[in-house]
Amino acid sequence: MDVVIEIPGRWSVLPELPDDVAVEERAADPSLRSKYEDLSRGGLSDADLTVIAGSLRIVRLTAQSCSVGGARALLAAAAEVLNAGGTAVQVVNVGLVHTAREWHLLAERSSNDALVQAFVSIEEDGLEAWTEGMYAFGLKDAILVGGQQWRPGFVLRMFLHTYLGADGAVHQGQAFAPFRAYRGQPYDIETLPPDHASTLYGNPNRQLRLTLQTLAAPFSGLNAGSVDHEGPSLALLEPPPLSSLTLERLKALAAPSVRLRGASGRKVPVGGSKLGGRPDLPPEMPWPVVSGVAQAFICQVNLADVAEAFPAARATAENIGHLLFFFDPAFRCLDDEMMEFLCHVVSLRRGAALGRCDFPDELDDYWRFSELAVDFATELMDIPVQTHEVRDLGLSTEEQLAWGAHVESEGSPRHRMFGYPEPIQYDDPRVWEDQTLLLQVDADDDAGADWGDVGRLFFLIDRDDLAEHRFDDVRLGYQSH
């Protein structure tokens, strides 16, 4: 099948084009504007459409070979036609349209990713994604089928970078691990290092394995219930069940924890537990400022509420009434190598007189979070697969996959006190042997807190300090996608 693009525009003389690109010309269609408006799905501005509607001629370019080299030549040839007076580009085979400036940017880059953006349509439907147009490179279309929890189109685009780079030479049983040094490279799953083999942004249950068959081109649409997928099909690797012995070892590491669940629209009394909003401090205590920077208020915990749900906290609650958590909006590191960030925890004695503080003028609105009342519930949490304790068990990659899939099945946001931190990346945020989790704060849409790219904060404390009710050396770990 040929790859065809059309370029509307105004010109008297076309530039000289490569011999492997066939050229035709015809008069512009009066319905050009509405045609491009429909194909762009709202992606073209009114100004773009007005320029396109003023076109007098249409040049039709056809690549004589379907290959990565042929597509790259067609990309460059279309850029030359645009320079001569073209207004836009339509990839006829898949109905993609690009403005002249978009095409020029892709032609300047001319990378594999630019080729995919120029010639391939990536469609999504729920938890599935598929391509249309890979035959422009002489390759089969790809399908990501079922179960992917996070942005299937994005994952599929990352795979296509590998697919083009290997000129389609991916094989049955290979693994795709788009993470860190392994991003965009196909590796056999048995040869991947255990701490990278099963990770997509650190989540072990999102390892992908390729199963390759043959796909008739062009591939259009996807109906997972009825279509016999005949192409490179990306599917979630289904880990085998854990042995009873391994499951017993992992379950033995479960730890008690206190889950914090936010509730919007409920008034929080002075001294009540909450996420966001304005803190309650003694009248004589100023808003925390560290090295000239006003700290951002994150969470206020009335330890009497915690002790009611979590008896292990009663000893602390007998001495300390409230803990208030602040962090440094400048994201200053205490230790670059250890990735520990500046934070500030205020501990208040029981019975201290409190009043609601106003935000300091110098604190940007971005760091003023919406107030959520907090309820506490005790739970026995399973240990996350990224922790030191699980690594010390020496599990195989397949066992890590299976346990990670189990642990990741819980919902978000995951605000909690005590128990284990739940890393987003593969590194355990507890950088010191005696550290334990004091508070974990997750990204929360209701509070207006995203922490970078759906990130997570970990307030960590030395076990001896926690036992002695000392909160003046709490460290902050931070991770995001």
Model confidence pLDDT, tens digit, residues 87-120: 999 998 888 889 888 899 899 888 887 888 899 8
Q: What is the dihedral sign for C-alpha 66, 71, 73, 77?
A: positive
- What stretches of 30-111 show up as alpha helix (H) in DSSP? 32-40, 46-53, 68-83, 100-109
pLDDT recorded at residue 257? 92
Residues 470-478, mean pLDDT to the nearest whole number: 89
Q: Which two tokens stand for residue 125?
A: 């439907």
Q: Which two tokens stand for residue 104?
A: 């020029």
Last residue of a domain, one of 210, 236, 262: 236
Mean pLDDT of the chain: 76
Q: Is 414 a domain residue?
A: yes
Would the pLDDT of 155 be above 70? no
> Given 3-state DSSP classes, what are the helix, strand and coil percentages for the chain, each rounded to the nearest 5?
25, 30, 45
Kindly indicate the confidence band of residue 233, based on its pLDDT and cuts at 50, 70 and 90: very low
Same domain, 167 and 217: yes
Residues 323-328, mean pLDDT to the nearest whole number: 93
> Can you name the residues that pair with 4 across neighbouring β-strands?
62
pLDDT recorded at residue 313? 83
Same domain, 200 and 63: no
Same domain, 288 and 424: yes
Phi, psi (degrees; rounded to nearest 5) at 135: -65, -15
Same domain, 45 and 87: yes
Q: Which two tokens stand for residue 5?
A: 């693009």
pLDDT recorded at residue 455? 81
Residue 27, number of CB atoms within 10 A of its CB: 9
* Cα separation values, 128 from 143, 152, 213, 224, Å: 8, 6, 18, 9
pLDDT recorded at residue 189? 34
Would the pLDDT of 374 be above 60? yes
DSSP at 403: H
Q: Is 245 a domain residue?
A: no
Same domain, 310 and 387: yes
Q: Is 47 a domain residue?
A: yes
Distance CA 203, CA 126 (A): 20
Kindly indicate the confidence band of residue 279, based on its pLDDT and cuts at 50, 70 and 90: very high
pLDDT recorded at residue 243? 83
Same domain, 206 and 318: no
Q: Is 162 a domain residue?
A: yes
pLDDT recorded at residue 146? 43
Residues 256-269, mean pLDDT to the nearest whole number: 90
pLDDT recorded at residue 276? 94
Distance CA 21, CA 62 (A): 6
Residue 195: exposure state from Cβ atoms within 10 A (0-12, 13-18, ≥19): middle
Q: Is 217 a domain residue?
A: yes
Same domain, 209 and 71: no
Would the pLDDT of 228 be above 70? no
> Can you name the residues that pair with 476 across neighbouring β-strands?
341, 459
- Domain count along the chain: 3
Same domain, 108 and 158: no
Highest mean pLDDT among 143-147, 334-338, 446-450: 446-450
Kindly indicate the confidence band of residue 410, based on its pLDDT and cuts at 50, 70 and 90: low
Task: Work out the percent of the chain whose per-residue pLDDT is above 90.
Answer: 21
Give me the domain span that covers residue 25. 3-119
pLDDT recorded at residue 124? 73
pLDDT recorded at residue 240? 59
Same domain, 106 and 179: no
Distance CA 29, CA 10 (A): 13
Distance CA 150, CA 147 (A): 9
Last residue of a domain, one of 72, 104, 119: 119
Distance CA 131, CA 79 (A): 24
pLDDT tens sequence across 1-35 = 678 889 999 877 777 777 767 788 888 888 888 88
Q: Which two tokens stand for residue 339?
A: 């990735």
* Cα separation values, 383 from 264, 373, 391, 400, Å: 29, 27, 11, 12
Please provide the size of the chain in residues.
Answer: 481
Same domain, 198 and 282: no
Residues 210-227, mean pLDDT to the nearest whole number: 30
SS3 397: helix
Same domain, 320 and 414: yes
pLDDT recorded at residue 337? 56
pLDDT recorded at residue 130? 73
Distance CA 42, CA 395 (A): 49
pLDDT recorded at residue 432? 74
Same domain, 205 and 354: no
Amino acid at 413: P
* Cα separation values, 118 from 78, 89, 90, 130, Å: 11, 9, 10, 16
pLDDT tens sequence across 430-457 = 777 788 999 999 988 888 888 776 788 9
Residues 283-297, mean pLDDT to the nearest whole number: 91
Last residue of a domain, one of 95, 119, 143: 119
Distance CA 328, CA 432 (A): 21
Q: Is 243 a domain residue?
A: no
Closest C-alpha among 244, 213, 368, 373 to residue 297: 368
CATH code for the domain of 316:
2.30.320.10
Tokens 């935000």 correspond to 359
Q: Is 247 a domain residue?
A: no
